[in-house]
Amino acid sequence: MASTYEGSARWEFEGPQYQLDYSVRWVNRNQNQEAGRRIGRWYEVDRILDTEKFFVTTTDTGPVPIPDPNPEDPDPDDPGPIEP
């Protein structure tokens, strides 16, 4: 992820031996923007702070929906649909 302190910016934090230690690949603009929005929501929802260490475990179970951190509720007194 380009927003972490790893990748092409790693050399700024860990030394010049990492200055050319990264790869580059073209990414579709719409997909790149959507990925940025999703990672930004993830940082906010999970309260990941700048310079805070974290890890990511990957699985092949499929996509997981990301909750909206600021849902708009037009009527806060409405309890929503009633389930049987």
Whether residue 1 has pLDDT greater than 60 = no
Check residue 23 and give its pLDDT. Answer: 75
Question: Would you place residue 78 in the very low, low, confident or very high pLDDT band (cuts 50, 70, 90)?
Answer: low
The region, left, alpha or beta by phi > 0 then psi within -120 to 50, assigned to residue 51 is left
Rounded average pLDDT over 41-53: 82
Structure token pair of residue 53: 């260490």
pLDDT at res. 39: 84
The winner for highest mean pLDDT among 1-10, 22-31, 50-59 is 22-31
- Mean pLDDT for the stretch of residues 40-67: 78
For range 29-49, the mean pLDDT? 86
In the prediction, which pLDDT does 47 show? 84
CA-to-CA distance for 39 and 27, rounded, in angstroms?
A: 16
